Structure 1
Amino acid sequence: MNKFSVFVKESYREMVEKVSWPTWEQLQQSTMIVLGATIFITAIVALMDFIASGSIKFIYSLFKG
C-alpha cells in the first residue's frame, strides 16, 4: 500500500508542477483543428463510399442481364 501512496503523491506532484497545461485559447484552437480535420476526412470517406457503391452497382448491372 505504501508504494501506491507514493505513486499517487508523485503523480499529483508531476501533474501540478511539471506539466505545462494549454491555455484556453490554445485548447479552443486545437479543438477547431481537430473538428475541421474530422469533418474533412468524413467527407472524403463518404465520397469514396458513394463512388464505390455506384461502381459496384454498375458492375452488377452489367452481369445481371
Structure 2
Amino acid sequence: MKLKIYIEEVYKELVQKVSWPSWSELQNSAIVVMIASTIIALAIFVMDLGFKNLMDVIYSMLH
C-alpha cells in the first residue's frame, strides 16, 4: 500500500510541480554541453600530449 501511495505522489509531482524545459531550451543546453565537452576533451588531449613529450625527454636523458 505504501508503494502505491509513493508512486502516485511521485507521478503527481512530476506532472504538476516540475517545470520541464521547452524544446528550444533543451536544444540550447545540449549545444552548450557539447561545446564544453569538446573544449575539455581538447584541453585534456593537449595536456596528455605535453606530459608524453616531457616524459620522452626525461627517459631519453636517462638512457
Q: TM-score range by the shorter chain?
A: over 0.9
Displacement of 1:31 in angstroms is 0.3
Q: Structure 1: which amino acid aligns with 2:52?
A: S
Q: How far apart are the structure 1 equivalents of 2:12 and 2:60?
A: 66
TM-score by length of 1: 0.96
Q: Structure 2: any 5+ residue segments left out of the alignment?
A: none
Q: CA RMSD in A?
A: 0.3
Give the paired residue count: 63
Matched, 1:14 2:13: yes
Q: Secondary structure at the match of 2:41?
A: helix
- For 1:40, the aligned partner's letter is I
Structure 1 unaligned runs (5+)? none
4+ runs deviating over 6 angstroms: none
TM-score (norm 2): 0.99
Aligned to 1:31, the other structure's residue is in SS state helix
Write out aligned runs for 1:16-55 (5 A): 16-55=15-54
- AA at the equivalent of 1:12: Y
Identity of aligned residues (%): 35
